[in-house]
Amino acid sequence: MISLGKSKKTHADIPTASMADIAFLLIIFFMTVTIFAREKGLTMLLPEKGEEVKIASRNIMQILVSPGGKVLVEEEDGALHEYRIADIRGAVEAALERTHDSVSVAIKISPLAPYSVMIDVLDEVKMADAKRISLIPFFEGGGE
């Protein structure tokens, strides 16, 4: 019988010297290919810096958005009445008609109010074709 000698086993080694280079190139590749969505936010046209214009209080229509999402509109008599979002456009249009388009709409928003309610109120005011709109932070208990 012929005896076969022990066969030499070869170990397969993976060269790791270039592993860091490959990982670095993959990171750069995915960073350049990936598109990050930018938050666009609200687009508001701000007036140019100039003299402050005093507006008579009778020409300011106040809309308050409470922390709970309630929408309150100041009527001609100065009292606040709760409105549905769908009815805000009609109230703003009536105020614009009554003042011959010289009314400024001040939307006072609580920082705790739902974002969607604020956007809906702003959309309704814009659809009523109000030209002067102010967004003001509103804190219950006084202060602005």
pLDDT by residue for the chain (144 residues), tens digit each? 566 667 677 777 777 778 888 999 999 999 888 877 777 766 777 777 877 777 777 788 899 998 888 999 988 777 888 989 888 999 889 888 888 877 889 999 998 999 899 999 999 999 998 888 888 887 765 544
* Spatial distance between the Cα atoms of 68 and 66, rounded to a whole number of angstroms: 5
Contact criterion met (CB below 8 Å) for 139 and 109: no
What pLDDT, on the 0 to 100 scale, is given for residue 2? 66
State pTM to two decimals.
0.63
What pLDDT, on the 0 to 100 scale, is given for residue 144? 47
Residue type, 53: V
3-state helix, strand, coil in the chain (%, to 5): 30, 20, 50
Q: Name the pairing type of β-strands 60-65 and 71-74.
A: antiparallel
Q: Where are the domains of the chain?
A: 66-137
39-55 in b/e burial notation, b at 16+ Cβ within 10 A?
A: eeeeeeeeeeeeeeeee
* Spatial distance between the Cα atoms of 33 and 31, rounded to a whole number of angstroms: 6
Instruction: With CA atoms as reference, report the closest residue to 136 among 44, 51, 58.
Output: 44
What pLDDT, on the 0 to 100 scale, is given for residue 63? 92
What pLDDT, on the 0 to 100 scale, is given for residue 140? 62
Please give the C-alpha separations between residue 23 and each of 1, 30, 33, 35, 114, in angstroms, as whole numbers.
54, 11, 15, 20, 44
